[in-house]
Structure 1
């Protein structure tokens, strides 16, 4: 029996990662797809856990060989999902969670139309800016860029099957659990 692919996307700072982490804790039968990226690890991130951290040369080589189900340049860094990783988990009957940006979600949906797409929205752009600033991981310029990019990303929320506003974390998580069950 084949598993189902669930795609969660949304702008940086909307709470995708936190919600996906909590969802994985509550759904032991759900497996997380580990994406590849050329960006450097953030504090506490471990290669092979949050991402597969690749050099630009290695990423481009794998991309050129057609290894990625999807890939995109996001905020100056490359991100991609290895097709073989997803296919193997689905073939073994696992349900798979893929946390990616809207560009990647659109690419995957073209190749795997049965994928269920969920878009996480911040309650407002002001709240998004507060969240990004409170992370203290990016410069003011990067935060401003991400907020501006979020406006364009939010325009794609309607492409997903479900939209979840992350205003109250517990309510947003409960809504995600309903969707995944």
Structure 2
């Protein structure tokens, strides 16, 4: 758990240093809140996006989610929580009147499994997605993202060792730009 805290602090430091070098007032840090699903695992999360740089096209994103793995026990079906942290690079390619954005994103993901279903402390992998953001004002937007995650993670303490946090990814949420 100590390593994940170091990763988060380092990533936030990078985002803050990028913010200090930002040129545009409309181009601030974005904080997003979302519900998501990877394969069959439901989650809620938060992400922070740096101001766009490189001709206002590229940004860095760090995010995290609290996820729930649905699995069977001897007597019932239960949901067991676990976390993930993502660090990625985003590219806005299509902008209409500063209100509609289409972007692509890719990066790394680190799972922090629950010891109830996994013997691993951490599991790394990658993700890729494309998204659509609709801005209702200069500071508030709603977004929808589709993509995929590959970690190879298995719940090895559960019968049949089912995979988790692999496969199709969806995120739906809203973002506030500071």
TM-score for both structures, normalised by structure 1: 0.25
Q: TM-score, normalised by structure 2?
A: 0.25
In proportion to residue count, which structure has more strand? 2
Using CA pairs under 8 Å that are at least 6 residues apart, name the structure with larger relative contact order, 1 or 2: 1
Which structure's CA Rg is the greater one?
2
Structure with bigger helix share is 1
